[in-house]
Amino acid sequence: MKRVAEAGGAALKLLHGEEGQLVPPSIVSIDYFDPPGDLRPYVTTLFHFCCDDDEIRDIQPADLGKLMLVLKGTGMAHFRDGRSEAIPTFSLQSPTSVALPFHFVNGFHSLGAALTPLGWAALSKLSADEHGNMLFDAAAILGEESNAFRQKITDDYGFAAFDQDTMIDALAQFIRGNLKMVAPRHIQLIQTVVDWLGTSLDPSLDDLYAQTTYSTRQSQRLVERYFGLTPRALKRKYRAVRAAAILTAPDVDDDSVTAVEEHFYDQSHLIREIGLFVGRTPSRLGGDDNPILNELLDLRNFRIKGPGESQFDPSI
């Protein structure tokens, strides 16, 4: 599946309060690939991203883990606590609790996988609450074989025989070979939380605790471990991100907007929440100058359960 977004790139307001500069008009190409069946519990989507602008500034909404190879360009990520870190050429990103601005120079090409909470846990074996909002060199977590894999992909990238399907297959095989065991009861809890998030923009905490096989306190600790936030904070995060997705949909109608607004105290609350978790105010969402953000907020990444519908996938 291929989607091409008209760029203009992202006059982004960094979360530190400094205004980013506009990226010159260009074409951003983001190709998404469904993971193989055996990897679907671990990976929501595989992707190949390309942009050849000299300077690229955009923002990643708060999300779950990500495994990514940088095939062109040099990047920095700007965290809310004031850190600015170089993005490794092969990185494992932990779940983020707020929006994450990033900046690349000399173009930006990447190959990667958006991970589910189970995927993050099975690859990293790290607690998302203790290691959230962090970037790791893949080799530090997955071992030195990561460097050999990165070098192989980098060396072959651009050759006609090394097409997208070959790259995606290679990445899928790498992920498959690095998954570790997660306790079956914990897998069940992760799925329960995913299902719960899919029931509403503002699901009931009592409904979640009634469905788990753990005490309320144990459930809270395990949700923090695998999702990086308490259940209350987690539903707040996804309420904002999914509200932004609905508001930026090209076919959004007044009834949908009203339904979203009912889940916030008032319009200023809606604006603050979307600004924190998505990185832009609603008035700045959805424009042609936000190609990367718009792709990440595509409503096809979100679904609330209904009769005959598939379940919500809490990843972007």
pLDDT in tens, 113-123: 999 999 999 99
Which position has the token pair 């760029």?
A: 7
Per-residue pLDDT band for 63 (boundaries 50, 70, 90) equals confident
Q: Where in the chain is the domain with CATH 1.10.10.60?
A: 184-301
pLDDT of residue 242: 86
Cβ atoms of residues 67 and 123 within 8 Å = yes
* Structure-model confidence comparison of residues 24 and 234, the more confident one: 234
Cβ atoms of residues 65 and 175 within 8 Å = no
Per-residue pLDDT band for 89 (boundaries 50, 70, 90) equals very high
pLDDT in tens, 255-283: 888 888 888 888 888 888 988 888 876 65
Tokens standing for residue 220: 């809270």
Residues whose CB is less than 8 angstroms from the CB of residue 135 and which lie 6 or more positions away in sequence, other chains included: 77, 85, 87, 88, 91, 92, 93, 94
145: pLDDT strictly greater than 50: yes
Q: How far is the first Cα of the chain from the last one, in angstroms, to the nearest whole number?
A: 16
* DSSP three-state, residue 97: coil
8: pLDDT strictly greater than 50: no
User: Which pTM was predicted?
Assistant: 0.82
How many residues are present in the chain? Answer: 316
Closest CA to 305 of 231, 199, 161: 199
* 184-301, CATH topology level: Arc Repressor Mutant, subunit A (1.10.10)
* Structure-model confidence comparison of residues 256 and 287, the more confident one: 256
Per-residue pLDDT band for 25 (boundaries 50, 70, 90) equals very low
Mean pLDDT over residues 156-169, rounded? 87
* 2-177, CATH topology level: Jelly Rolls (2.60.120)
15: pLDDT strictly greater than 70: no
pLDDT of residue 17: 37
* Structure-model confidence comparison of residues 248 and 49, the more confident one: 49
Lowest mean pLDDT among 17-26, 254-263, 291-300: 17-26
pLDDT of residue 278: 87
How far apart, in whole angstroms, are the C-alpha atoms of residue 15 and residue 43? Answer: 28
> What is the distance, to the nearest Å, from the Cα of residue 176 to the centroid of all Cα atoms in its chain?
20
Per-residue pLDDT band for 245 (boundaries 50, 70, 90) equals confident
Per-residue pLDDT band for 237 (boundaries 50, 70, 90) equals very high
Burial of 306 (0-12, 13-18, 19+ CB in 10 A): exposed
pLDDT of residue 257: 83
Per-chain mean pLDDT for the chain: 83
Q: Where in the chain is the domain with CATH 2.60.120.10?
A: 2-177
> Which phi and psi (to 5°) does residue 60 adopt?
-105, 120
